[in-house]
A = this chain, B = another copy of it.
């Protein structure tokens, strides 16, 4: 199954008639990496998202959200207790936010 992030990148890139190698060049990585990212074969590094968003004229936070969702999904995808764990993690997160 493809990643949320990868699908969105491909969508943004193709809509602008940009080639893999053009995007790769602007991001300063090999073409194959972008190909893999778009197909969900590998994850982009978090630090590369802002530049990518700029290149694709996309909302940074949207891409960061999708990227993060993929990371979470990667952790829980095959776990029986995935939903329960998400609940627990969310509670802890909200608890932390209240304290700040």
Contact = CB atoms under 8 A, between A and B. Distances in A.
Number of copies of chain A assembled together = 2
Interface in A60-99: 61, 64-66, 68-73, 75-77, 79-86, 88-90, 92-93, 96
Contact of A93 (B61, B66, B83, B89): B83
Contacts of A1: 96
A35 interface: no
Contact of A92 (B4, B75, B89): B4
Given A64-B85, A71-B85, 9 more contacts: A4-B88, A64-B80, A64-B81, A65-B88, A69-B88, A70-B89, A77-B93, A77-B96, A86-B90
